[in-house]
């Protein structure tokens, strides 16, 4: 395994595998347990040299030897957590799979012009919305002058 691959596994554990005080309930514990099993699967795949299809910062697909940290919807241009309940619901209905994409990290998703999911990343979504509002105000001011 390369250092980059090991770092990404650590990133997956940090985002999806760590139990926190603020999410102390049974549903959350079950989700974390599922996530840890997912991370173990990723670890095995990485050691088996599996390649992952990811989206680059310019929105193009490429094959990577490290797994994605975030998922996304190509059509809606939204990125979110891999364990997003909203994304899971869509996938279970079979509606989402063809639009499903993955990103190495959040920065790449943002650079590719994806916005955070309101369901699983409420804090990031709020920040994004606020920024969009500011942009809109600036735009209006510009066109009024
Ligand atoms: Zn989500």
The DSSP line for 102-134 is EESSHHHHHHTT-EE-TTT-HHHHHHHHHHHHH
Strand, coil or helix: 69: coil
pLDDT value, residue 85: 82
How many structural domains does the chain have?
Answer: 1
What is the 139 CA–ligand 1 centroid distance (Å)?
Answer: 29
pLDDT value, residue 90: 62
pLDDT value, residue 26: 80
The range of the structural domain enclosing residue 64 comes to: 3-144
pLDDT value, residue 7: 94
What is the 49 CA–ligand 1 centroid distance (Å)?
Answer: 28
What is the 88 CA–ligand 1 centroid distance (Å)?
Answer: 9
What is the 71 CA–ligand 1 centroid distance (Å)?
Answer: 9
What is the 144 CA–ligand 1 centroid distance (Å)?
Answer: 36
H helix or E strand, kind and range, residue 5: helix 3-12
Q: Are 55 and 61 in contact (CB under 8 A)?
A: yes
What is the 119 CA–ligand 1 centroid distance (Å)?
Answer: 5
Mean pLDDT by 10 residues, the chain (145 residues): 93 83 73 88 92 96 95 95 79 70 97 96 96 90 74
What is the 123 CA–ligand 1 centroid distance (Å)?
Answer: 12
Could you tell me the CA-to-CA distances from 61 to 15, 32, 41, 145 in Å, in that order?
23, 29, 23, 41
pLDDT value, residue 122: 94
Q: How many CB atoms lie within 10 A of CB 3?
A: 7
pTM: 0.83
pLDDT value, residue 8: 94
What is the 142 CA–ligand 1 centroid distance (Å)?
Answer: 34
pLDDT value, residue 21: 62
Residue 106 to residue 116: CA distance in whole angstroms: 9
């Amino acid at each position: 395994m390369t250092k980059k691959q090991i770092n990404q596994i650590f990133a997956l554990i940090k985002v999806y595998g760590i139990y926190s005080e603020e999410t102390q309930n049974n549903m959350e514990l079950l989700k974390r347990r599922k996530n840890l099993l997912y991370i173990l699967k990723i670890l095995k795949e990485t050691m088996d040299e599996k390649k992952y299809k990811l989206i680059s910062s310019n929105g193009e697909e490429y094959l990577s030897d490290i797994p994605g940290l975030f998922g996304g919807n190509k059509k809606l241009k939204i990125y979110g957590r891999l364990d997003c309940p909203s994304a899971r619901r869509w996938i279970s209905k079979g509606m989402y799979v063809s639009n499903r994409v993955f990103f190495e990290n959040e920065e790449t998703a943002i650079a590719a012009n994806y916005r955070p999911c309101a369901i699983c990343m409420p804090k990031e979504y709020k920040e994004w919305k606020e920024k969009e509002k500011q942009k809109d105000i600036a735009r209006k001011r510009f066109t009024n002058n």
